[in-house]
Amino acid sequence: MAGKFIKFFSPFVRIMPEIKQPQREVQFKEKLLWTVVVLIIYLIMSNIPLYGVSSQDTADYYYWLRVILASQKGTLTELGIGPIVTSGLIMQLLLGSKIIKIDMSDPYDRSMFSGSQKVFAMFLTVLNIIAYLAGGAFGELTIANATFVFLQLLFSGVVIILLDEILQKGWGIGSGVSLFIAAGVAGQVFWNLFSFVEAGPNQGARGIVIAFFQSLTNPSIDTATLFFRPDRLPSLFGGITTLAIFLVIIWFESTKIEIPLAYKGYRGFKGKYPMKLLYVSNIPVILVNALYANFLFFGQIIAGPSSNFRNPGSNWFLNLIGTFETGSSGVATGSYLVPTGGLLYYFTPPQGLDQLIADPFRAIIYLVFFIFLCVMLGRVWVDVSGLAPKDIAQQIIDSGMQIPGFRSSDKIIERILKRYIPTLIILNGFIIAIMSFFADSLGALTSGTGLLIAIGIVHQYSESLAKEMAAMQYPGMRALLGMD
């Protein structure tokens, strides 16, 4: 099976541009520089409008997921990281379910799997661009303009894949996917805190901090109304919710189970192997939302009010997929579709306390499915990303350490780790799903999932920086830190 899989993708992998892994040890300062350069390039792309699009006053199919997909409407990053995350999700599901069999210890198989994932991401990029153009996401375009838009998005898709690969291959810190999401969430939170754009009559500025200070000097703005503002405007309660969730997630990220270790060759030299309570961190949330994003995107194109498929004979089936009403963001031209019924209605969380109280049944269904998918995809990710008990046991043995009181054997260490890791995966999925749900339902300053992801990413980057600095001082610890 592995041979057929690799054989099918190998011609495409050969023609895909590739970032080579560094043949030398990349110093910490150089990694930091490359990380900053990658982020700046992405931010510049996010502010370059697409040539040939005459109007932005069109439906925004990705409105609900812009922050999570690190995308900006009408720019070179229109598709964001969606194709990369979706291809990773599908490929890892195929690998985890044994539909394809790849020997990840074989460098050739591993490189071909990575290359095949890139090819699949490009295929999804092309598919999404065609769906965008067919669904009228850019309005009415001439053939020439549609071709220009297609080529721009295809080129930017390749660039985004390569930017992510620069960090993944070891030239930078972390991954491009995580970096772009964190930057997008930070930008949205900053906008909702400090924006001077007028929110409406007697509402003050959109930014809640600015509106609060305006209420102290402007009698027409009632400070009490800023605690709960209508139309999903940033509120004081949302700001408090954001801060509370930030502190809670940081506490969960810092909570660890520590397994005692001792060096085999050095008597009295002991250490610990820490396993976080959030063992898989934010990865399941990213994967679940990539899945939701594709359902929501194609569902809006197929069943949306302007869909070409709608006619009196088939509306009952399209209504089963989803029914929508048009909403306005209030901060830019254009509009977005709000699910009001059908299956897609249950793929979106309640946006605020009013929606939660109005339809608690929807909230329960969404939460149950969200928890289930976070747990299941967390298990798949652990199996394919080197976090399984077998992989961790081998890391410990390779670093020259053992668990005191037990024979130095990877099988024994693996058996001990199996007491903890499956339970941590379930707790991880449950906690992040609950926190994301409450962030959305209580009106946090960005999407609940986006906030959760950004907090986890910031914490991961702080840990990565700490590891890099520790590895600089003690090169012998690189294997134990998982950096080799």
DSSP letters, 185-200, are HHHHHHHHHH--SEEE
128-138 pLDDT, tens per residue?
899 888 877 78
Hey, where are the domains in the chain? Answer: 2-14+26-196+233-477
48 contacts 75 by C-beta, under 8 angstroms: yes
The pTM for the full model equals 0.75
Quick one: pLDDT at residue 105?
65
* Tokens describing residue 193: 């805190």
DSSP 323: E
The C-alpha angle with vertex 219 and arms to 215 and 224, in degrees rounded to 5, equals 50
| Three-class DSSP category at 64 | helix
Quick one: pLDDT at residue 159?
93
Quick one: pLDDT at residue 1?
47
Quick one: pLDDT at residue 483?
52
Quick one: pLDDT at residue 44?
93
Q: How far is CA 184 from the centre of its chain?
A: 11
Q: In degrees rounded to 5, what are phi and psi of residue 213?
A: -70, -30
Which stretches in the chain have pLDDT values below 50? 1, 330-333
Longest dimension (CA), the chain: 80
381 contacts 374 by C-beta, under 8 angstroms: no
Quick one: pLDDT at residue 292?
81
5-29 pLDDT, tens per residue?
667 777 887 888 888 888 887 887 8
71 contacts 77 by C-beta, under 8 angstroms: yes
DSSP letters, 91-106, are HHHHHHTTSS---TTS
Alpha-helix runs per DSSP H in 255-314:
283-303
Q: What is 2-14+26-196+233-477's CATH number, 1.10.3370.10, 1.10.1200.10, 1.10.260.40, 1.10.760.10?
A: 1.10.3370.10
Q: Say how many residues make up the chain.
A: 484
The total of other beta-carbon atoms located within 10 Å of residue 211's CB is: 27
- Alpha-carbon distances, residue 64 vs 303, 335, 482 (angstroms): 17, 11, 36
Kindly tell me the sign of the dihedral angle through the C-alpha atoms of 142, 143, 144, 148. Answer: positive
Kindly state the helix (H) or strand (E) to which residue 395 belongs, with its residue range.
Answer: helix 389-398
* Tokens describing residue 21: 């892994």
Look at residues 421, 414, 451, 456 and name the one whose alpha carbon lies nearest to residue 436.
Answer: 451
Quick one: pLDDT at residue 268?
58
